[in-house]
A and B are shown apart, each in its own frame.
Chain A
């Protein structure tokens, strides 16, 4: 896995390296045949297990409700009805829910960057007094299972301490708690730690203040980690279910996931499936474009790749 963090330059160049099966064994005729058999089996198994369900959903959406309910199910639709996607869009008012979800995920992303990047920079490069205490208190929150904080955070969001604001039905109920993300701060801090201090000193000698240094020097060279953090944040916000379910009782404000679950019983199955496919497209597109960042995020900060 190619993590994009600096200092980790020594990456395993395993793809061509020696693995469990010895290369000499693979070169024999029997070895070659066995390899082909294993390869084909794995290929077929992976395709059936992971891609076929998606094929089933996309084609299912284009079947008529009668065909969907018939047994045995058809592998290829007898009649194609691609217009069910448009119908689903209209009937479920998907445009509105897409917008809601984009606002929730986009806002969570911006607020997180705005809060976590300066914090990580301050902890890493300015190293204030008691900085380690602050970082430690933040990291402690990682040790709590998320579910354990569900109820008290909900209670807090309904009546913010001191301010006495009720954030229910407001996207801020998602944005603000999301920004309390110790994992992101930790990832960012670790990256900033590896930026040489000399660079910052040089900027300071040139008369740049800390904010300017952060903006003009640190952020441009931190693009890889910012990409990882951004993707992690957006994907998490798009996929989240239980928290949006709690904070958006107003059906018009809900995100796609919450809405789909709510209408699941009443919708004709073909339209529901069409809606599900449409709701997944942004994530799949994101995945295809940002694979590298997503795979890097998978191993960054967790386990040595």
Chain B
């Protein structure tokens, strides 16, 4: 039990950047837009959040700056795809490459600087035996990301705005005919998604590994993209999937340290493998697709045609 609590804590911590980014991407995709630029947005947010925290000494400000950086890039992406009709996949890939290069350039002078420990425990609850160590000694952003997941569930399935967002993702033409401004709704969804990816990137450079080095997101943007599909566009499944992916990594490390022979290479590819399996499964079941996958995903919509 004693060694189990830190294992859970570490899994939740490792899953948090995935959760934040995947929740944002889920909202994007619910509006019918795929943004493959997650990795790039996370990298930009990681470097900008880190820079702001170094200069101001404030971690919350770093998170705000990271979210803004993510949203700014997402706004650019929205301009390209929603207004100018550029291909979503190509634009997203370009955004990823741009983010990787630009963040490296911006970050040159921050390489090698480090922040002091930015984690903190929840008072009182953190002292509860076992549960305290497992659940209540995390950075506030970890709890915020859980709350965000709850808020998104409520928003998507309990509010009128959520219904409209889903309608736009299912059939932008019908939503347009009903008088909704598809472009503006997609823009808001993309800005929200960018801000979430920004928070995820800032979490990496401010909390997870309090440092900036080029390319430090190390593929987590792609895992988050896979995660939205793995979770079949359900926020609660995104949450469990994120902790599962985080947990698998931590568990591999733990078992290796204990000398259990496992092919760690196999586990590294598990997130992607699981996603392929889910994709195969849902494409065999028409109901699953109809219920969950936004029907107009990846398709641009031009209200003037």
Whether chains A and B associate is no
Chain B positions within 8 Å of A, measured between CB atoms, are none
